[in-house]
Amino acid sequence: MHRLNRPIFAEEHEAFREQVRRFCDKEIAPFHSQWEEAHQVPAAVWRKAGEAGLLCCWLPEEEGGPGGDLRFDIVVAEELARIGATGPGFNLHSCVVAPYIAHYGSPSLKAEVLPRMVSGDCVGAIAMTEPGAGSDLAGIRTRATWADEHWVINGQKTFITNGVNADVVVVAAKTDLDKGAQGVSLFAVPTSSPGFSRGRNLQKIGQHAQDTAELYFDQVRVPATHLLGELNQGFRYMMRELPLERLCISFNCQARAEAVFGWTQTYVKERKAFGKRIADFQNTRFKLAAVWADLQAGRALCDSLIERQLYQSLDSVSASAGKLWHSEMLGRVTDECLQLFGGYGYMHEYPVARAYTDARIERIYAGTSEIMKEVIARSICDESRR
């Protein structure tokens, strides 16, 4: 595939890419199908990734990080996408969970957790969703009350990525029942805390190597230093951090769509029907041309959003539009490409089949496509929210 020049990356990022690629080919690709059967990535892989410098690359040295920037974490995500590895939840750990702790954590919490997130000894998860509240997060029922100099947390979360492997969970809980969204606070909860337990590792239609769990909190006590930021400001912090989470979906979807296109391009040149290559049918050629056009547009949008994030100017509406577009685009691309594989495209052993089922969730988590449209539409149609 003809690649667009990507000026957002410097030489140091491309050198790092070579290193990450070697790691992925040696430590991830040969084992990923085993992890799919186990529905989990082993803890040792997290530590190997930490040793290789693949976790929390953006975290400043004074916080215990390697002092890189977000682009190094994007390289890690893109290289995992290249081999179709959706199991390791490195991106969520590094770019979604770690920022909450780094931006809002107390000095003692940061010192306790962040260096261990960098080394892979402490895996991070974020728990907002509950059985009764997903899109409508103001409706969460998990509660935190102050008693005996501790926050005491009670409640249940579901669909939590990295939930089985997690050592620390950023938990959204109600701290003022009368204030709706303004009564939500965030806490960093070690999973070693008495009263914390995990439910099932949930069986999904895709992303089989990714652990996704139910979490239970029964009188879980955490010290005041584990409150993130200020009391009742949790919703404000989530709104501040969500553009980056949505950007993560964009760059992951874009990289995975490019990988699927590459596999398809190879396949249609090898496979024959009616004495011709599949690549010789006009339908194939036009489908791939249309996918390629999508990929070019997606790459330009994706890199411009990354650039805006690097300059701290990525707003919620633009990130939501990106999340909407890239997740829908990945859905289209995996569907069109799978079709070109014929029956083999439906076989689990073919990466395109896994990519197809792996892709479906991208339109749902981190805010559904419908919620993304709501966010965008409000800025278009409601004067006060522009």
| CA 285 – CA 281 distance, rounded (Å) | 6
State yes or no: residue 160 binds ligand FAD (CB under 6 A). Answer: yes
CB count in 10 Å sphere of residue 135 = 12
| CA 11 – CA 46 distance, rounded (Å) | 26
What's the one-letter identity of residue 57?
Answer: C
Q: Name the residue nearer to ligand FAD (CB basis): 176 or 374.
A: 374
Q: CB–CB of 17/54 below 8 Å?
A: no
The enclosing H or E element of 145 equals: strand 143-147
Residues 100-159 that bind ligand FAD (CB under 6 A): 126-129, 134-135, 159
| CA 206 – CA 4 distance, rounded (Å) | 30
State yes or no: residue 176 binds ligand FAD (CB under 6 A). Answer: no
Q: Which of 36, 63, 78, 245 is catalytic?
A: 245
Here's the x/- map for ligand FAD, 325-364, by CB under 6 A: it reads as ------------------------------------x--x
Out of 119, 154, 225, 368, which residue is the one contacting ligand FAD (CB under 6 A)? 368
Q: Name the residue nearer to ligand FAD (CB basis): 211 or 303.
A: 211
Min dist CB 203 to ligand FAD, Å, is 11
Residue 161 sits at φ, ψ, to 5 deg, of -65, 140
| CA 301 – CA 55 distance, rounded (Å) | 25
Min dist CB 2 to ligand FAD, Å, is 34
CB closest to ligand FAD, residue no: 134
State yes or no: residue 370 binds ligand FAD (CB under 6 A). Answer: yes
For ligand FAD (CB under 6 A), the number of binding residues is: 18
State yes or no: residue 371 binds ligand FAD (CB under 6 A). Answer: yes
Q: Name the residue nearer to ligand FAD (CB basis): 176 or 370.
A: 370
* Cβ neighbours for 97, distance < 8 A, ≥ 6 positions apart: 117, 124, 125, 126, 162, 168, 170
Min dist CB 66 to ligand FAD, Å, is 24
List b or e across 369-378, with b for residues whose CB sees 16 or more CB atoms inside 10 angstroms. bebbeebbee
Active site residue 245: yes
Q: How far apart are the first and last CA of the chain?
A: 39
State yes or no: residue 204 binds ligand FAD (CB under 6 A). Answer: yes
Known catalytic residues are: 245
Question: Given the rule CB under 6 A, which residues bind ligand FAD?
Answer: 126-129, 134-135, 159-161, 204, 212, 361, 364-365, 368, 370-371, 374
